A and B are shown apart, each in its own frame.
Chain A
Amino acid sequence: MVDESKASQSSDSLKPDAAGAESGPGTPQTADAPGVPTAKPVAPAKPAATKTPVPVQVPLDNELSRRYRERFGAGILDALEDRKQPYLVIDAAKLAEIGRYSRDEEKFELLEDFTAVDWPRREKRFDLIAILYSFTHNTRLRLKIPLAEGEQAASLVEIWPTANWLEREIFDLFGIVFAGHPNLRRILLPDEWQGHPLRKDYDILQQDTPWVRENLGIESGQ
């Protein structure tokens, strides 16, 4: 894991000077900084020489985004491009409409992936991400749908049946409820599990201790 080959002596300006705290638990040289916790690497106190990382999103203004904006107006909250991958931030209330439009008019036949990201400090805590692919045009599009905690999203099962298990997984791991899903149950975790693991405020000490104790006979957190 540690790049010790000669080709990797990089002069990357982002590389910090304090090698001990940065390289994480895998390297042999972390033993020299006793005050630094090596189990959980934290963001280092950078010397002034390094730049703070800047996001690389740029606004998107192409045919596709213009068509969407024309059609949905305020439903499209933003259109951005990150490292040459376009995505639209849309309003959760318009999700089903936009989904149907994407499949039927824009010919995004395949829902390649449907997932969520948790930003706990934001007001709209979750970001639903739908990745669409068009066989006809051979392009991909991402839809980002901010959702607040407790807000229900429209289910995409009617439009793309593949969303069935994908939405169940999001429900299982994040706790987002999809209105109109025919069978919204947990899929990866046991049915009686309490909690939604992929949320940022769920860690190993908080996992469903009663279930683990009953069914596996161990104290959780071990």
Chain B
Amino acid sequence: MHEDATQTSKTLLGADELVLNMGPQHPSTHGVLRVKLKLDGERVRGTECVIGYLHRGVEKIAEHRTYQQFAPYVDRMDYVAAVSNGLGYCETVEKLLSAEAPPRARVIRTILTELQRIASHLLWLGTHALDIGALTPLFYCMREREEILKIFEKYCGARLTTHAFRIGGLQYEAYDLFEKDVERFCKDFERRIQEYVDLLTGNSIWIGRTRNVGVLSAEDCIALGASGPVLRASGVKWDLRKAMPYAAYDQYQFEIPVGTRGDTYDRYIVRMEEMRQSRLICLQAIENIPPGAILARVGKVLKPPPGEIYHSIESPKGILGYYIVSDGTIQPYRVRIRPPSFVNLQALDKMARGHLVSDVVAIIGTIDIVLGEVDR
């Protein structure tokens, strides 16, 4: 990729604009992301993201794999929240087959997905706090995340790229102490969230670093397609789990946290509250997991009728959508993945303008991107 660092323009004072390069190797860009900052002194006049360092051609690969063979690939996109990716894909293919997972599978899927949401937000919190300078929350978050990953490991054998779900339901039955483990985690978690709140929420340095930093109004959010906590922090009370419920979400009571100002602090509060709500969903779900089959009869060979389908879920990062075109064969004709991080990252430019260089790090952290998903 060629360097166009010489393309600058004159700033207000007639001085040359400085182009500062962040990444692709940088401790705070959360993966291989390159951000070119156009600076006027210390103020950011514009940013340009260079992505594609992690592009693996997943959509092209999908055209040469059967539906089941492609399922592990989707875990590798948003590798921090693999279970959500799997949920979106399996549900989309099930819709394509006009099949539905049995109730028991749906509930267990919900529990695992909500645990994954908590794990993803914990990782976000730890790294975001680390970027802003708080060294300790990272380790506390990793400690909690470890518990969740242990549950995943006991369930399906893998911690990170889980491939937990199958098309039609689940492969593995919930292990014997599954409900107990989840319950113990959830009961413990309330106290832990309080630790993070004590460390950060009222801290005047934290507020000073995050209040009014990276403000995105609701209109801009919708115009730029930002979704997930970014959208909710700007004041739009909308969550796909409530608007178009999938899996078993319509059976549970939970709130949608909403912010007011659309700044980094509000996004922090929204994600903290989302963790609490996920915990409540888990607690409600484990009380009553319906008995029955865990896998629908979709057959070993999947040949969906030709046509297309679009289905999206609320992943921890935003709207994760799958658009699958089938031509009647065992391999999909086209799989398009609508990545929330990719679309949210577009908003970086709008959010970072006018701020100082130190704030750019905070803003990248607050969008919560995973480069695997941005680039696929």
Contacts and interface: CB of A to CB of B under 8 A. Distances in A.
Main secondary structure of the interface of A (DSSP, over half): loop
A115 B305 contact: no
Nearest to B295: A7
B243 A138 contact: yes
A136 to B, nearest CB: 11
Interface stretch (A30-38, A92-100, A160-168): A160-168
8 contacts: A3-B300, A25-B69, A110-B222, A112-B225, A113-B321, A165-B342, A169-B342, A192-B2
* Contact count band on B: 35 or more
Contact of B95 (A83, A142, A188): A83
A7 B325 contact: no
Contacts, number: 159
Contacts of B147: none
Contacts of B338: 112-113, 115, 131
A15 B300 contact: yes
B24 interface: no
B297 A187 contact: no
B328 interface: yes
Most B CB within 10 A of own CB, among A40, A160, A162, A189: A162
A206 to B, nearest CB: 12
B51 A85 contact: no
A112 B243 CA distance: 15
Contacts of B236: 135
A85 B243 contact: no
A196 to B, nearest CB: 11
A10 B298 contact: yes
Interface of A: 1-3, 5, 7-8, 10-12, 14-16, 22-26, 40-41, 43, 52-57, 82-83, 85, 87, 109-113, 115, 117-118, 129, 131, 135, 138, 140, 142, 160-162, 164-166, 169, 173, 186-192, 197-198
Contacts of B2: 191-192
Contact of B300 (A10, A57, A111, A113): A10
B13 interface: no
A15 B297 CA distance: 12
Interface stretch (B54-62, B113-121, B260-268): B54-62
Interface string B65-89: 1101101100000000000000000
Contact of B1 (A43, A53, A191): A191
Nearest to A160: B223
B346 interface: yes
Given A5-B295, A115-B336, A22 B225 contact: no
Contacts of B244: 138
Contacts of A85: 308-310
Contact of B225 (A26, A111, A129): A111
B303 interface: yes
A7 B293 contact: yes
B331 interface: yes
A1 B305 contact: no
Contact of A3 (B295, B319, B321): B295
Contacts of B45: none
